[in-house]
Structure 1
Amino acid sequence: MTMSEDERLPRILVVDDSRMVRASIVKHIRGRFEVREEADGEAGWEALLVDPGIELVLTDIGMPRLDGYGLLERIRASRVSRVRELPVVIISGDEDESARERALGLGANGFVAKGSGSVELLATLSSLLRLSRAQSELARSRVALAQNSPVDPESGLVTPAYLAHRATQAVAEAERRQADTAALVMELDQYDELVARHGSHVVQLVLRKLGRLITERIRAEDTLSQHAAAQFALLSSPGADRASACAFALRVRASVEKLVMGYREERIRVTLSIGVANALGDGRSAVNELLALAAERAAQARAAGGNRVFADAGEVDAAEIERQLARVPSIDQVLQQLRSGATEGLSAKVPALVAALMPLLELIESQHPVGLPLARLKALQHKGGGDHIDGEATRTSV
């Protein structure tokens, strides 16, 4: 007969090079906890990687191969949240106050003196386990809430599930309007190095700052999600073509590059690798394919050294994007020219103007059919050989 998860005794890893100390601890907590014993920090670390049932670590400081400080550092820097968030209690001997301060600074949760009686030891371990389980339950509740809510309670951004839902709608709308839409995947460079140096908590604060920075630069119709641990996904509303999407990506990259964040008197600078994909330009009508293509290009940008923007033709040339945008006339400027009678040179701009106004013309014809020759106008816009950009407004947001 096997026990259910709730009936099993909590499993504790005891790491100490003294067999007598380990035996004493086992004697005191037998019947309340299940104990796994290891004789040094290296063996303890290996046990943590292969034994997901361990809920608490009780470790000595002075040990061969890997001491308690080293084991504690590895635990707190682990990329596996199950390991990183384990409560760690130090078996304290005659160490001075500086040793305790160092252990606390590395993330120790408590201390028990060697030779402590059953009451003190059980009280310490039970208290930490209750706290740990409560935090785990809270984390699971947050995940459940996020799955049933369009907004992630931690980041304040939409959830990946809602992004996929909204993306399906946006792509379908773009197809109806015969307009383009863009997906951007923005990935934090040197994520592992930042976690190792500053800790996961600090990196999460950095990611929240980046999320706010990006949110401030998008339109209300655009949708931003934290797609993975170090990755944001942005889906534009219909109308964002390749040039405007790449221009936005370049602006975000430049803003992040200039950003300097402070934490405990330390300056933190980060960069982003960004991939851009477009529904029309890349021939992708399925949302998952569009996002996957943008993620693949973000990976290419990171492999090329990071702090880059990649699209269909490889790394995006900022100068070329500026030239493409410059070819799009401002509707306001054209109207001012017409009002003033200065019509010279406007004929050459007609194809680009038609391209810029086509979404509006299609909307008018769909809601108030007046017989606009849309097919002839579309043929006219292609005669100019210009890019399909939504005019001046799309230069500032995706």
Structure 2
Amino acid sequence: MTPAITEKTGVLLGGSGLIGGTLLYYFKTQAEGRINILAPNSKKLSLRDPDDIRRYFEKAKPAFIINCAIAAIDSDPQLAYEINYQGTVYLAKAAQELGIPYIHLSSAAVMPIGQNLSEERRLPLQAALPNYTKAKLMAELSLEHLSRSRGLDYTCVRLGIVYGAHDHKIQGFHRLFFAIVDQSMPVLFTTQGALHSYSNARKLPYFIAHLLENRAEFSGQTYNFVDPNPVSLSQLILTIKSYLELKTPREIYLPFPVAQFGMEIMARLVRLITRLGIEARMPAELMFLQNFYETQTLSAAKLRQSSFRDPDPEATIFTELPELIQYYVTRWEHLNLIKPFNKEFFDPRRRAEEFLHTPELLLQEMHQESDLPFLKQCPLSNPPRGEETTQGPGK
């Protein structure tokens, strides 16, 4: 007789974000029957409350912990400290005392400017660092300390600029994408030679699953999880512009001092508008404006030399663009965040136009279709690539 496979229970924090949601969907579909994932939201488990964490893990007793949760990148010092740093340490202590692996998602924000940066390259800890960067850097340092002093079994996965479909927040790369689609970027806020590393959200679950199954190799290690080839920011912006057949942004490179001055003026206007009782704020990503003008590429050599094998080595930000454009443009249209694009491309059956202009005809069509079988029209296999379920605290 074949022995029964024992189902493991894992806890994932930050399940509502792009990364956490993608991981959650993977474990719910690809590892069904082998792994049960718990994804508590902040009401069930607050990373700011150590008693919450103690009670939850004493009861759940999971086989591993994955932490994707972060405070917003422009959070104040207290929130950044409590969630991005203190919460990380509490989770790591829980994992160490339970004797289980702890997987921590970190960021290239903790690394300096430069090319082909190895995992060992990190910024020095200084008070002047942005709150987000400082907290993520301190988290990495404390995980290393707990590994040396207490035997914590952890792996730190450091991400570049993350891209992927089904992120319901406009943040990170998707903030840049939105600015292009919304035609609110008149010129290029970068230099012609600025290169960056990108991380494919769709591939990450395969790496997480692999390192959980191979702890001897990956325990106590940090890995840059990025696509092998860096990307020119200007080339990426112009490619998106070409796909959408837009006139802007113009291929004019705005010098950083001019861009910085413009952002300062805009920040003052936002503060004035806020005093008038109108809710307004600058995009949080603008705190990293200087990074748009500087090259930072992460080495993927350590990842490539590991036992992990890329499930889709040909996939890059450029090959994924058509899917990303179709998903996000359609979504932002539905939310009335952007002006409508070509309806025939995004709504081939023209149902949205019928709903708007001829609802009685649409009603008649739907009633006629009610005589047809329903379930046989729908695929019963897995949802399209990149589909995700989102739960838990925000990322």
Larger radius of gyration: 1
Structure with greater helix share of residues: 1
Of structures 1 and 2, the one scoring higher in RCO (CA 8 A, sep 6+) is 2
Global fold match (TM > 0.5): no
Bin the TM-score by the shorter chain: under 0.3
